[in-house]
Amino acid sequence: MHASKFARRLVFSLCALIALVTWWLLPRDVESDDLLTAAEFPRAAARETRSRKGNETRRRTIVRGNSLTRQANWEAAEQSKLPYPVPAHLQGIDLSQQTADQAAAKSHSCIKCHATVHDPHDSPETIRLGCVDCHGGDANSYKKKTAHVQPRFPGVWSTSGNPVRSYTVMNHEKPEFIRFVNPGDLRVSHLSCGTANCHGRETLEVRKSMMTHGCMLWGAALYNNGAVPDKWSRYGESYSMNGAPQRLQTVPRPTKEETATKGILPFLNPLPRYQISQPGNVLRIFERGGRFVLESGIPERLEEPGRPRFRLSNRGLGTTNRTSPVMIGLQKTRLLDPTLNFLGTNDHAGDYRSSGCTACHMVYANDRSPVHSGPYAKYGNRGTAAASRDNIVRSIDPTIPKHEAGHPIQHKFTRAIPTSQCIVCHVHPGTTVMNSYLGYLW
C-alpha cells in the first residue's frame, strides 16, 4: 500500500521533472528581442538589469537565441549551391558606416580576456571594427567555449597556434570556424575583408591570382611531359566556401587571339582524379628500372603507394591500368607549398604562415636575417608571437602562448611586407623567382 503510493509519487515527480527538462531544452521561439544585434545588446541588457527577477535567464535566452539563429544561418549557407554564400545575419552589412559604440559592443567580452587587442588595421579614424566583425563568435559570452566558434575537428585545433602540417583539413572544416581562426582565409574573406565598401576587389582578384591557383607550374609540368596537348594552362586550384574544388572561368570568354597573345585563360579546372588520367607517351624516362612488368590488379608489394616506380605500360595508352605519373605527382606533391589556399606546414623555420590575405599581410617570424626580414629579424625564426612591447609591437595579447609556433608576431596588418614573408612560399620549386631576388640559386 505504502509502496505503491510512493511509486505513484515517484512517477509523478519524474514526469514533472522530464516535462521541465524538455521545456528547458526546447528551442525558444525566436522573439524579436532574440534578433538583437550585438550593438543593440548593451542597451537591452541595461533595461533588463532594472528588473531584478529573471534577469540572468533572460540574458541567457537572448544569447542562446542569437547563437541558434547564427548556427542555422551558417548551416543554410553550407547547403547553398553558391560558391561563396553569405549567411543571412551577415547579408547587406556595411561596416564602413559603423560607429565606435557599435564596434565596441562587438568586442565586448572578447577584450575581457584578449585585453589590449585592437582591430589589426592601424587606422581608427577611418574604420571602426569590432572583433566579431572579422572573427565571428559571441561578444556577449564570457566563457571561452561559447565566445569562440568551435571547430568540427577539435583534435586538429588543440591550441591557438596554427596546426602542424594541416594540409587540406581547411577544406573539411566548418567555414564559420575558419573565419574564426583566420578571417583572411579565401574561403571566407568575402565575409570579412570583402564586405561592402571594404576590399571586395582585392578579395575577388586574390582568388584568381596565380598564387592561389598555381596554374603556371601545373600547366608547364603537364605540357612539357606530354600529358596535355595545349601550352596554355588548363588546371588550377580553387575552393568554394565549403572547400569544394571548383572551376575558375573568365567572363566574358576571351578570344583565341587574347589567349594566344595576352595569356588570358578561358578557364581553369580542378585537377582530374589521378585514376582517370593516362600516361603521355613522351615519358620514356619512366620506363627504365623495375624488376618486371606489373600485371594489372596484382599489386607489387615493394612499390610505394601512389608512386609508379616501374615502367609505363608496354602496350600503349590506357592499358594495364596505368595512370599519368605527372598527374599523380601534381596530386601528391606540395611543389608550390601549396598555395594561398592553405596554411604553411608550421613545422620548421621558414614555413610559418597563415592562408589567404593573412599569408602576406600579417607577418610571422621566419628568418633571422635583416636582409630578408628587415626589422622583423629580431623576432627570430620560430613562428612565435612577440613577448614584449617595442618600437614595432605596441600591444601583447595575454592569452596567446609566447613559445608556441604558429602565431603572427602581432595582431596587426602591414603593407610593409618583408621578403621573408614571400619566401615562405617562394623557396619551393615552381615559385623560386624570389630566391634569385635574394641572390640565391635554386
Interface with ligand HEC in residues 338-367 (CB under 6 A) = 339-340, 354, 356-362
User: Three cell numbers at 175?
Assistant: 567555414
Which backbone phi and psi does 269 adopt, to 5 degrees? -100, 155
Report if residue 433 touches ligand HEC, rule: CB under 6 A. yes
CB of 237 to ligand HEC, least distance (A): 9
Cβ proximity of 266 and 257 under 8 Å: no
User: Three cell numbers at 419?
Assistant: 621578403
3-state class (DSSP) for residue 50: helix
The count of residues interacting with ligand HEC (CB under 6 A) is 77
Out of 85, 137, 279, 383, the residue judged to bind ligand HEC by CB under 6 A: 137
* Touching ligand HEC, residues 71-90 (CB under 6 A): none
Q: Which of 43-51, 63-71, 375-383, 425-433 is the region at the interface with ligand HEC (rule: CB under 6 A)?
A: 425-433
CA-based nearest residue to 147, from 399, 410, 422, 412? 399
For 188, left (φ over 0), alpha (ψ -120 to 50), or beta?
A: alpha
Report if residue 187 touches ligand HEC, rule: CB under 6 A. no
Cβ proximity of 424 and 211 under 8 Å: no
Omega before residue 252 within 30° of 0, cis:
yes
Residues sharing a CB contact under 8 Å with residue 37, sequence separation 6 or more, in sequence order:
none
User: Three cell numbers at 441?
Assistant: 640559386
CB of 292 to ligand HEC, least distance (A): 37
Q: Which of 56-64, 105-113, 238-246, 258-266 is the region at the interface with ligand HEC (rule: CB under 6 A)?
A: 105-113
Residue closer to ligand HEC by CB (options 61, 146) is 146
Report if residue 412 touches ligand HEC, rule: CB under 6 A. no
Residue closer to ligand HEC by CB (options 324, 366) is 366
CA-based nearest residue to 312, from 345, 346, 283? 283
* Touching ligand HEC, residues 248-287 (CB under 6 A): none
Report if residue 66 touches ligand HEC, rule: CB under 6 A. no
* Touching ligand HEC, residues 210-229 (CB under 6 A): 210-211, 214-217
Question: What is the pattern of x (binds ligand HEC, CB under 6 A) and - over residues 368-407?
Answer: -----------------x-----------x-xxx-----x
Residue closer to ligand HEC by CB (options 322, 426) is 426
Length of the chain: 442
CB of 411 to ligand HEC, least distance (A): 5
CB of 211 to ligand HEC, least distance (A): 4
DSSP secondary structure string for all residues of 304-362:
PTT---S---SS-TT-TT---HHHHHHHH--TTSS-TTS----SSTT----SHHHHHHS
* Touching ligand HEC, residues 309-338 (CB under 6 A): 336-337
Residue closer to ligand HEC by CB (options 286, 413) is 413
CB of 408 to ligand HEC, least distance (A): 5
DSSP secondary structure string for all residues of 5-29:
HHHHHHHHHHHHHHHHHHHHHSPPP
CB of 183 to ligand HEC, least distance (A): 5
Q: Which of 25-33, 83-91, 177-185, 322-330 is the region at the interface with ligand HEC (rule: CB under 6 A)?
A: 177-185
Out of 28, 43, 60, 112, the residue judged to bind ligand HEC by CB under 6 A: 112
CB of 7 to ligand HEC, least distance (A): 46
User: Three cell numbers at 16?
Assistant: 514533472
End-to-end CA distance of the chain: 93
CB of 268 to ligand HEC, least distance (A): 10
Report if residue 131 touches ligand HEC, rule: CB under 6 A. yes
How many whole angstroms separate alpha carbon 64 and alpha carbon 69?
9
